[in-house]
Amino acid sequence: MAGFNEGEGWLVVAAAPAVYAVGMHSPAEAAAPLPNTNGTFCPQAQRRFVLIAAILASALGFIDGSILAIAMPAIRVDLGASLAQAQWISNAYALTLSALILAGGAAGDRFGLRRAFVAGIALFIAASLACALAPNATVLIAFRAIQGIGAAIMVPGSLAIIAKAYPKKERGRAIGIWAAASALTTALGPVLGGLVLSAFSDGIWRAIFAVNLPLGLLSIYLLLIKIPADAPTDHRSLDLGGAGLATLAFGALAYGLTSMSASGERHMAGPSIAAGLVLLVAFILFERRQREPMIDLSLFRIRAFAGANLATFFLYFALSANLFYLPMLLIAGWGLSTAEVGFIFLPLSASIGLLSGLVGRWSDRIGPRFPIAAGSLVVAFAFAGLALLAHAGIHHFWTGTFPLMALMGLGMALVVSPLSTAVMTSVEDNDTGAASGINNAVSRIGGLVAVAAMGSLAAWVYSTVLDTSVRPGIPGFGEPVSTGLPPELEATRLAASDAAFSVLSLTTALLCLLAAIIAWMTVSGQKLPWARQADNRPT
């Protein structure tokens, strides 16, 4: 459904059907069969190299995405980054990825999937190496934005090239292998990363980015040496004007929301948010006038499609905020080790990997409405539990936080596959690729806005409880303590951290509840078995 978001690499595993649909929607499906390739551009003996290259390229994003949130406290200490800078280390990547991913997907059709895929990987690993060498937070933010541009080309190409290389009868198995390898990478990445971060000094975070170099180079080698080039299949324009306007609009909105937590830039919040809204209107008007728009806005006239995407926005807004700021609370606030916190993503990956197929079949029988609504409610309960846990000052990871993360994983397992189904079945068959791409972008935009807005909310609650005007010198929210504080101040700082995250988590719980209501009112679904039985009872 959503592809991988920053801090949520596991999402791309569950996204396979939707991204696959983008590849299926490609005009390559109508191309004449190539000799000895069973209708694909790639001979049978070389298809395994396509699969290996796609798995390696996907691992690039998974490693960065799932470990970055855990590594953020170490990055802040090593680079002296503020909360606002920490937000932008995440959001610079999310901004360019979300704004350009639709254009990146179209680039594969226009220039050839192999060529575009290699270009995306090359840009991604070059920017990753620059991130690993960044001397300060500002430089890291700049190269994270470039990394996001590479990802915008690389992410849609990963599954699309598998779909184009394998004939229809073999695609399901190939995508299953890709998904299994991706699930393993996603599950083990944060655990291994947490262990490494705990074993070495704060500067070891640079290895998170540096490891992309060998993986990316191997993937490029396979693509260029072992795999033949595919022919371009579409000569439409890439709508770079729309992509530029989207980048400026969401960039201004994110900057305005982030500025609320930056002491020297709060005066810019209002003007930046206003400018972002004006640019967003300009983007919508521009897209309506385009012959070949990046986003087909007419799809939002379909009630079920609009409702599913609105539910996606609220759900992934909530998810992104919690997954980004919870590790900060646990490491910088509660003082847990990164090795311990590294297990926080494990129940999420395991639940989605193990249950998505079963839930998908259930959704096919009764319709996606009930699973989406029920799953959103379960996630809401999990986030409300985290809010109560922090509010009560219960600092138990294995008996408190981890079970609630497992509950959240169960809820997301109920949501992911049915939400893909709801999006794809709400439109005509020839619009499924566009629908999937839009839903991808919506989930990423939700994460972008969440990290910006919820960080400012947490910072405001933290400073209000702590009253930093009276208690100067205390680290900001999510910032590790570099020097020992007196016991009284440390207790006050911890209480302020708990209060800030409690408000954040309670807010996201309410957004999940709103997502459940929207899904129930707009998404299609059949009557449940027990409801049908009640209708058939004699009167």
* Euclidean distance between CA atoms 513 and 373, whole angstroms: 8
CA distance 480 to 332: 4
Whole-structure pTM value: 0.85
Q: What is the DSSP letter of 368?
A: S
The tens place of each residue's pLDDT in the chain, 539 residues long, gives: 444 344 444 444 444 333 333 333 332 333 333 444 556 778 888 888 988 998 888 888 766 767 888 889 889 989 988 888 999 999 999 999 988 888 888 888 788 888 899 999 999 999 999 999 999 999 999 999 999 999 988 888 887 888 888 887 787 778 778 877 777 777 777 888 888 888 887 788 998 898 889 999 999 999 999 888 888 776 667 788 888 999 999 999 999 998 886 666 677 788 999 999 999 999 999 988 888 888 888 889 999 999 999 999 999 999 999 999 999 999 988 888 888 888 888 888 888 878 877 888 888 888 899 999 999 999 999 999 999 998 887 888 899 999 999 999 999 999 988 888 888 888 887 777 778 788 888 988 999 999 999 998 998 899 888 875 556 667 888 887 766 777 788 888 888 999 999 999 999 999 999 999 999 999 877 644 444 444 444 44
465: burial class by Cβ within 10 Å (0-12, 13-18, 19+)?
Answer: middle
What is the distance between the alpha carbons of residues 532 and 296, in angstroms, rounded to a whole number?
38
Q: What local confidence, expressed as pLDDT, does residue 470 receive? A: 52
pLDDT at 25: 36
pLDDT at 529: 47
What is the structure's pLDDT at 472? 63
Residues with Cβ within 8 Å of residue 455, at least 6 apart in sequence: 83, 84, 86, 87, 258, 261, 325, 477
pLDDT of residue 22: 35
Query: pLDDT at position 538, please?
Result: 46
Residue 359, pLDDT score: 87
Q: Cα separation of 315 and 5, whole Å?
A: 13
DSSP letters spanning 184-196: HHHHHHHHHHHHH
